[in-house]
Amino acid sequence: PEHPFVHHRSQCFILTTRLQDTNMKKTSICLLSGLLLLSSCLDEDPKYMNDSSVVYTSEQSAQIVLNGLYGLMAVQGSFAQLLPEINTEASGLCWTSYNLSDNRCQYTNGQIPVDNEFNNLVWGALYQAIQNCTNFISELNGPDAGQWDSKANMIAQAKFLRGVCYYQLYTLYGGVPLRVEPTTTENLNLPRASRQQVIDQIVKDWTEAIPDLDDESKLESGKPTAPCKSSAYAYLAKLYWLMGCNSWAAEDGDPWATTTLRQSWPEMQPSRTYFTKAKEYGDSVFKANVFDLERDFRTLFGGNRVSMSDEFVFVVDATMNTTENVGYNSLHWTFSPQNCSPGETWGRSQPSKSFYNWAN
């Protein structure tokens, strides 16, 4: 069954990434807080839809809403904490210092009940981002929206973000409900789509976004670091590589892949088909030549905040929402040893012996 939407107050005040002007910050926070509070309530006639003639009349107002979509990617339930945290814990690469009944230990043990708090937070955060992306796309394509040169690019960015969210849901749950139209009372209770239907939607979002994305990623005042064409190519290569590995596992006799996976994915193709597509998109990334490796490894991991790098395929900046020395991005809290630096460092996820042996 589909999980309910989850809204967190913390999601309302981190939505103005890199807005430099103080007055613009205040305006953006008020507007986006109102939009997201309304979007989390499944009203029959939501007010933000009625106000679209005001919100989407100009590039500036639409950009504020688009910044909010990026902000939804940097909340506790998604990339700022739980997605990297629970994936690491479930991988067997680390152990957690919490008691055995804790949400984290359930991931470490590979026994995750439906009512796991982190499971519900991730589901809610990703679907909140998806729904807001869908509303944004629908409104900008609607008859009441204004016209400006960057409009198609904004829609492409929203499609790229929605594809990223569905990719994360796919890797965790397989088939999930597809919300590609604004939510109404008629489509509130959507059935779970098949694994292949979710794959098709991810590919559709990313391939449709490519023509209108920029040729290169740019860092502009007042805007997040937007994905470029090569960002979408790279993610498509990643998706097809994943499918190729899954298919390869089934061909190699892996128990899960030959039973559960095949049953839920009867459309599975030979692994060579997926690897060929992965190479095709990967070659597109290399051909564009917009990404590069840093010359010095310490540039990325030397302890200093990196605002832009040629290595960044797609960036969600979760460092701007800070209170004194503590940022909302809790990856620092989670993985850093206790008392290793200013601010919170809990060291609750620590490398396992198997990971240590593998690294050696």
* Lookup: tokens for 81: 């904490």
Q: What is the pLDDT of residue 342?
A: 65
Task: Among 25-39, 222-236, 254-268, 335-349, name the one with the lowest average pLDDT.
Answer: 25-39
pTM, two decimals, is 0.80
* Percent with pLDDT over 90 in the chain: 43
Amino acid at 183: T
C-alpha closest to that of 238 among 280, 200, 268, 205: 280
Residue 196 has pLDDT above 70, yes or no: yes
Burial class from Cβ neighbours inside 10 Å (0-12, 13-18, 19+) for residue 27 reads: middle
Mean pLDDT over each residue of the chain, to the nearest integer: 80
Phi, psi torsion values for 221, nearest 5 degrees:
-60, 130
* Percent with pLDDT over 70 in the chain: 76
Q: What is the C-alpha separation between 45 and 50, in angstroms, rounded? A: 8
Is the Cα torsion angle 267, 271, 276, 280 positive or negative in sign?
Answer: positive
Q: State the average pLDDT over residues 235-252.
A: 98
Contact 9, 215 (CB under 8 A): no
Q: What is the C-alpha separation between 77 and 84, in angstroms, rounded? A: 10
Residue 24 has pLDDT above 50, yes or no: no
Amino acid at 80: A
Residue 151 has pLDDT above 80, yes or no: yes
Contact 278, 237 (CB under 8 A): yes
Q: State the average pLDDT over residues 179-206.
A: 93
* Strand-strand pairing, 322-323 and 326-327: antiparallel
Contact 97, 350 (CB under 8 A): yes
Task: Among 81-95, 110-124, 275-289, 303-317, name the one with the lowest average pLDDT.
Answer: 303-317
Highest mean pLDDT: which of 68-72, 111-115, 264-268, 331-335?
264-268
Q: What is the C-alpha separation between 30 and 251, in angstroms, rounded? A: 54
Give me the helix-helix angle, 229-251 and 195-209, nearest 10°.
Answer: 150
52-73 confidence digits (pLDDT tens): 667 888 999 999 999 899 989 9
Q: State the average pLDDT over residues 285-305.
A: 83
Residue 78 has pLDDT above 70, yes or no: yes
Q: Label residue 360 by pLDDT band (50, 70, 90).
A: confident
Q: What is the C-alpha separation between 10 and 26, in angstroms, rounded? A: 16
Higher pLDDT, 49 or 292: 292
Residue 287 has pLDDT above 70, yes or no: yes
Higher pLDDT, 78 or 34: 78
Helix, strand, coil in percent for the chain, rounding step 5: 55, 5, 45
Secondary structure element (H or E) that encloses residue 70, with its range: helix 59-72
Highest mean pLDDT: which of 63-77, 269-283, 336-350?
269-283
Q: State the average pLDDT over residues 276-305.
A: 87
Residues pairing with 351 in the sheet:
94
Q: What is the pLDDT of residue 319?
A: 60
Q: Label residue 303 by pLDDT band (50, 70, 90).
A: low
Q: Label residue 343 by pLDDT band (50, 70, 90).
A: low
Higher pLDDT, 298 or 319: 298
Q: What is the pLDDT of residue 51?
A: 56
